[in-house]
């Protein structure tokens, strides 16, 4: 009983009836076709990977940092609360596991393929934009002083700019504060997941189930906590994490809408390609197996409609014999 109630909450009152009409597109039968159609998209993803690697190899812009600016850059150096290796785990692997779980429930390769493709586009586009802005801006991190002067003895040239004597890798990383990469990647991956879940559970079906919103907000809460940790660790200023989170969420929305209707749409639970494939499958099925019963019913309805064209009203025959008989009766009865 309780499972039926939960099913009605998250699928709607016609959830089970809708599932009975769903088409299934297996990975074995349709996977190669889907991958072939989107081959160029996968090649663009590969190109984005190389661009992202290149942006991490080049040096960022070394912005002027004067002695008066060091007041806000003397926070202590700390380790990352969320290590770098964990970011792709919760932004890429976790959503893909959820996509796979839904695939085994629905058997829709279009949904699985487009969800993974949209997620990877969201992550890589966000990564390229984030690192390009990082390298171009060169904003120092809040702990830049200790990266530049690990012994605490500061030094400046005749122009007032810092003369760092710390590790080159620390100094280089110290000029990559804006925007926050952890924040942008988190909102790009988990923001995409939130939109995906909102569509799947029909969060905006106007039936007033707030429990659905709690599920949608869960990935966003996780991304927000990661962003807050970047400020707590003194790796970023608050403006960095705000801009990074906003950037990731915007890119995630654009990438999601390339493959799926908006979550508040009546067909927001499936990708555009799924509905096109359903129409194509049903059209081919009708052409291959025409319904003879429909043709018979059409013939019967046409024969039933024919007499109505010869009638002036309900039950009145327009034949000459009937009209002459009616006229004679009227004469005898004194009506004419």
Positions marked active-site:
182, 236
Task: Say if CB 144 and CB 136 are below 8 A apart.
Answer: no
Report residue 207 as tokens. Answer: 């039936």
Contacts 24+ apart (CB under 8 A), 225-233: 226/82, 226/182, 226/183, 226/186, 227/180, 227/182, 227/183, 227/186, 227/187, 229/80, 229/81, 229/82, 229/182, 230/180, 230/182, 230/183, 232/81, 233/78, 233/79, 233/80, 233/81
Burial category of 79 from C-beta neighbours within 10 Å (exposed 0-12, middle 13-18, buried 19 and up): exposed
Calculate ∠ Cα 29-25-88, nearest 5°. 95
What number of CA atoms fall less than 13 Å from residue 171's CA on the CB side?
A: 16
CA distances from 168 to 56, 150, 163, 172, 255 (A): 14, 12, 12, 6, 37
Dihedral angle, C-alpha 69, 70, 73, 75, nearest 10 °: -150
The full DSSP string for 108-131 is: BHHHHHHHHHHHHHHHHHHHHHHH
Cite the beta strand spans of the chain per DSSP E. Answer: none
């Amino acid at each position: 009983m309780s499972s039926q109630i939960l099913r009605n909450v998250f699928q709607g009152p016609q959830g089970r009836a809708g599932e009975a009409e769903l088409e299934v597109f297996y990975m074995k039968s349709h996977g190669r076709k889907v991958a072939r159609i989107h081959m160029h998209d996968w090649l663009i993803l590969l190109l984005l990977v190389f661009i992202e690697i290149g942006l991490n190899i080049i040096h960022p812009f070394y912005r002027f940092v004067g002695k008066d600016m060091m007041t806000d850059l003397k926070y202590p150096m700390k380790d990352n609360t969320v290590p770098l290796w964990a970011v792709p785990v919760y932004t890429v692997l976790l959503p893909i596991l959820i996509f796979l779980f839904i695939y085994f429930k629905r058997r829709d390769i279009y949904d699985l393929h487009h969800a993974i493709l949209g997620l990877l586009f969201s992550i890589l586009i966000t990564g390229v934009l984030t690192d390009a802005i990082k390298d171009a801006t060169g904003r120092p991190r809040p702990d830049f002083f200790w990266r530049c002067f690990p012994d605490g003895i500061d030094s400046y040239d005749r122009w007032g700019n810092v003369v760092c004597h710390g590790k080159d890798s620390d100094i280089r990383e110290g000029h990559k504060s804006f925007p926050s990469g952890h924040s942008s990647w988190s909102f790009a991956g988990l923001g995409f997941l939130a939109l995906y879940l909102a569509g799947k559970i029909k969060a905006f079906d106007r039936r007033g189930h707030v429990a659905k919103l709690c599920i949608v907000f869960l990935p966003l809460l996780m991304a927000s906590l990661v962003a807050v940790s970047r400020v707590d660790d003194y790796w970023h200023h608050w403006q960095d994490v705000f801009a990074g989170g906003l950037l990731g969420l915007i890119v995630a929305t654009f990438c999601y809408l390339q493959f799926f209707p908006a979550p508040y749409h009546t067909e927001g639970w499936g990708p555009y390609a799924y509905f096109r494939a359903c129409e194509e499958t049903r059209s081919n099925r009708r052409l291959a197996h025409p319904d003879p019963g429909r043709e018979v019913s059409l013939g019967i309805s046409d024969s039933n409609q024919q007499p109505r064209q010869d009638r002036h009203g309900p039950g009145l025959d327009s034949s000459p014999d009937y009209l002459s008989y009616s006229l004679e009766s009227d004469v005898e009865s004194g009506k004419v």
